[in-house]
Every structure is written in C-alpha cells, then in structure tokens.
Structure 1
Amino acid sequence: MTIEIIISHIDFYVIEKLRDLRVKSEPYIDQVDLAQRIGVSEGYLGQIENPKHRSKYNIRMLSRAAKALGLKSYQDIFPSEILKDDLVRIRLKLLKSATKKHEVDKNGNVKKRFDIISIVPLTESEIKKWKKGELKYMTVIAK
C-alpha cells in the first residue's frame, strides 16, 4: 500500500527517531512500557508511531521519553541540522511485516516499516488550504 501524508517534517523525524531508539534500546522497551513511562495509553503511543494517524508527541512527552530511553541529551532526538521545510507531503510505501514485533537487523538497524518515496514541501497555496482544513492528512495512493 502506498500512502501520502501531510505532516510537519520535524514531527515526522522525531517520531521515527524515537521509535528507532525505543526498538534499539537495551533492554528492549516495547510500546506498552514506553507509554506507561511517559503517561499515555499504549493505544495512543501506537497511533503516534503509525504514519496513518495524525497523533504526535508534545514537548512534555518528549522529555519523559528521553528519560525513559536513558538518553543523555535532547539532541539525541532532534536532527543535527535545521530541517529546511515545515509542512511536507510524504509519500510512503508501507511494507508488510511477518510479525508485529519490531526487529533489529544484524547491523543494528531497525527493520523498515515503509520506504520513503518522496518528501515534498507544501506550496504557499497548499499551506493556506491546510490551515483551512481543506487538505486531508492522509491519502491512499495505491493498495
């Protein structure tokens, strides 16, 4: 399945980074454990990590997640450089998984849930439409 979402580029980056850090954590921290540690329901954390949903972290949750994951700095969560675009349209090809459990490959990389096909900044006119609620968060491109 291929989907297209409209999201803040920084939100997308942080969500994926925290998921990566969570899955790579030693000992492994699952969604239930992290949700309990940051004070949200496991369903809500699942929605945050699922690109089909609009849910995202707030600053307080980021702080709690950093502590729960044993990070030394908030810099471990954010990109090393300022992302040049705010709102972006991201096209993703969702990959099928044989298991619900997140896995790490032999090189220590978290196995991908999707391929990023493209990331394109919204135009000024699209941003105006987004602010008016005239653009959908997610569009299914192909099944």
Structure 2
Amino acid sequence: MTKIEQHIIDQVRERRKKLGLSQIELSQRLGMSDSFVSHVETPNRRAKYNVNHLNALAKVFKCSPRDFWPEKPL
C-alpha cells in the first residue's frame, strides 16, 4: 500500500464514519459487493479505490473527488 492510497482510504473512512455508514452500507450505495469497502479498509488487502470509485464516493458524500486527495504530494 502506498502513502497516497492509504491517505485516500483514510479520508473515505473518516467521511463514512461521520455519516454513520457501515462498510456494508457504503458498499451497497456504490453498487459493489457487500464486502468491497471492508476489503479496501483492511490492511494488507489488494482492493483499492480507483478514480471511478472516487467519483461515486463523492456523489455519496456530496463532495468533490478532490476532497479525498492530499493538498501536497506525499
């Protein structure tokens, strides 16, 4: 897992928790398998968010896809 990937996962997790969504609920809102978000958030898993996921996540969280990225390179 790279630093940038971990940063994005952390940003999504934080927003998910603020909205009170479970991993399963978020997976379902994304139209993915119930375990998708769990696989992304679990260390040492190979699942990752791609740009299409970030766009869909931004729709769920009503934000910009840019909000998941750091302000400066990591």
The equivalent position to 2:68 in structure 1, one of 70, 73, 77, is: 77
TM-score, length of structure 1 as denominator length = 0.48
**Pairwise CA distance, 1:48:** 0.3
Matches within 5 A, 1:40-59: 40-59=32-51
TM-score, length of structure 2 as denominator length = 0.88
**Pairwise CA distance, 1:82:** 1.4
Q: Which residue does the alignment assign to 2:60?
A: 68
AA of the residue aligned to 1:77: F
Q: How many residues align?
A: 74
Superposition RMSD in Å: 1.2
Query: What CA distance in whole angstroms lies between the structure 1 residues aligned with 2:56 and 2:73?
Result: 23
The equivalent position to 1:10 in structure 2, one of 4, 8, 15, is: 4
The answer to which structure has the higher helix fraction is 2
Structure 1: runs of 5 or more not aligned = 1-6, 84-143
Query: What CA distance in whole angstroms lies between the structure 2 residues aligned with 1:51 and 1:67?
Result: 25
Structure showing greater relative contact order (alpha-carbon pairs closer than 8 Å, 6 or more residues apart): 1
Would you identify which runs of 4 or more consecutive aligned residues in structure 1 move more than 3 Å?
none
Percent identical among aligned pairs is 32
The answer to which structure has the higher strand fraction is 1
Query: What CA distance in whole angstroms lies between the structure 2 residues aligned with 1:14 and 1:62?
Result: 9
Query: What CA distance in whole angstroms lies between the structure 2 residues aligned with 1:31 and 1:19?
Result: 9
Query: What CA distance in whole angstroms lies between the structure 1 residues aligned with 2:31 and 2:4?
Result: 22
